[in-house]
Chain A
């Protein structure tokens, strides 16, 4: 995600990526080479050299870097989820308020136009009172160099890492959740395979079903449907595709790779970070607040608790 964010910043004439830090020197080195950015020898040195800190470390280390950055008076954008535990989340919320920091949890889904448009349509009453929402997200198991996604204590599995995107969208769009019930393969200790089915009841009576997939070999895809008493919205990333490119394999005997894409002037990561930078410059609170980050983690951890205990978890 660090590379993705850097590419977004490089499109902004008023932003300069001035320094990078990674606790693994070889990773910092590779990044520095690719983007021509100087390396900080330690995190304190990074803090001394910038105005904005963008935290793209694995989830279990979010608090470890976000907290000192907030305390150093920096504006901080931190990857989702806000942190691995609710206790860490509370400390971040408290620090943001104490230091009056400009802080944004990077729930980038809010800047994906297919999700942003749906949010505002629902808010404008396009489907009336919402009754049922279904959201699906996922593909094959995520691979990182250190394989940290596979360590539940670091990533929180498919619920905390992946479908927290949908949880944030639901909380943003439908308001407070009342209770959650979930089933997941997270604790089955299957080799690089995770799957979750989560049912959330909202205070307004709406019921949401969220499917998290880290076991689909056919690749990443998402879909949703929002059903209300005055209409329904649906989106399916496998169907709404603006451009498909298929290139015949060498030798001409089939087996080519097909790549679907939806080209756009600005990608969601750019839009997300542009919004954050604008807030930093204007001294305003980003539209994704630290409380939003907290609430999404709280819901995700409640779902995990339900999947672990087999009980309904009330929020």
Chain B
């Protein structure tokens, strides 16, 4: 039995990747698409050879068992609550929410309806991260003392630059992946955040530069660079996810997307990194399909994981407002 899945909104760039993953996965039946923008729903449906639904309601009234929400960040809560009310399992793009109240409502809605709510944190599935996690757990580098992470990227533009829809700028977009990896790696919560943000890259009303300092429960400290600091036209790839763990006996450093070859593209007039590593989106969607079909969750991030990571970004904005480190409110 294939799992029937719909995608709610193609606002987020990752929707295309998830669509491909659904089409390639023999366990999935990609049923169709609904979107705030019916024209986009029609165009994407045609592109992927699936059904275009006129509204979210009509998609949710169909026999899909699960939905993937890829709307603008600020619309996640509304769509997730609609999907939960319709009894559909949910995989929601990150950040789960831009406000704590939204996140709480989403978790409550899923729990109340008895549906799964997962957060799209594909980095958890990276074989490099998995091996790093095992290395740290084995005690090979001793006691964990500090972490250094980055999730730098190019400015995606569009609604990502509208704080009303995105919930902020680079810090809201790029804090959660690595905050999640830090939680997963250490088994500890992030309790305090200090953030410095700037806008010297694009000189606009959102932060394009963000440097967070995080303190974990045990006193382990970390920094996380979530800036859109990669040059848009000339950088050879979209960005990076890196994490270093400093232990009493050694260091492990991961550069998650360093599995690439270099393409000097005469026709395109630029140099590109061509990634040849595993498709972590595929691995994530595959587990989502298995869990919806009744399997056990193994790596997939829960709604609560998404909530906790987003709470760190939200605390970052509070730190910027107050100009000092702040406790993370969950």
Contact = CB atoms under 8 A, between A and B. Distances in A.
Interface of A: 129-132, 134, 181, 183, 185, 188, 190, 193, 195, 197, 199, 201, 204-207, 209, 211, 215-218, 225, 227-229, 231-232, 310-312
Given A181-B196, A197-B213, A310-B325, A132 B146 contact: no
Interface string B189-220: 00000101111111100001101010100000
Given A131-B229, A228-B200, A312 B213 contact: no
A195 B146 contact: yes
Interface of B: 145-146, 148, 150, 194, 196-203, 208-209, 211, 213, 215, 221-223, 225, 227, 229-231, 234-235, 246, 248, 250-251, 323-325
Nearest to A215: B246
18 contacts: A129-B203, A132-B229, A183-B215, A183-B221, A185-B146, A185-B246, A195-B145, A197-B146, A197-B221, A201-B198, A207-B196, A207-B198, A207-B209, A211-B148, A217-B250, A225-B229, A228-B201, A232-B230
Given A129-B200, A231-B234, 7 more contacts: A132-B211, A132-B225, A134-B225, A188-B145, A199-B194, A204-B200, A209-B225
Nearest to A307: B221
B200 A229 contact: yes
Contacts of A204: 200
B248 A181 contact: no
B135 to A, nearest CB: 14
Nearest to A209: B211
B223 A197 contact: yes
Contacts of B325: 181, 310-312
Contacts, number: 103
A312 B200 contact: no
A217 B324 contact: no
Nearest to B249: A217
A199 B200 contact: no
Given A131-B201, A131-B208, A232-B229, A217 B196 contact: no
A229 B230 contact: no
Contacts of B148: 197, 211
A188 B200 CA distance: 36
A106 B202 CA distance: 37
Task: Kindly name the residue among B145, B148, B223, B230 whose own CB sees the greatest number of chain A CB atoms within 10 A.
Answer: B223
A132 B213 contact: no
Given A199-B223, A207-B198, A181 B213 contact: yes
B209 A132 contact: yes
Given A197-B221, A231-B234, A185 B251 contact: no
A171 B246 CA distance: 28
A206 B148 CA distance: 20
B323 A229 contact: no
Contact of B251 (A129, A215, A228): A215
Nearest to A127: B231
Nearest to A314: B323
B235 to A, nearest CB: 7
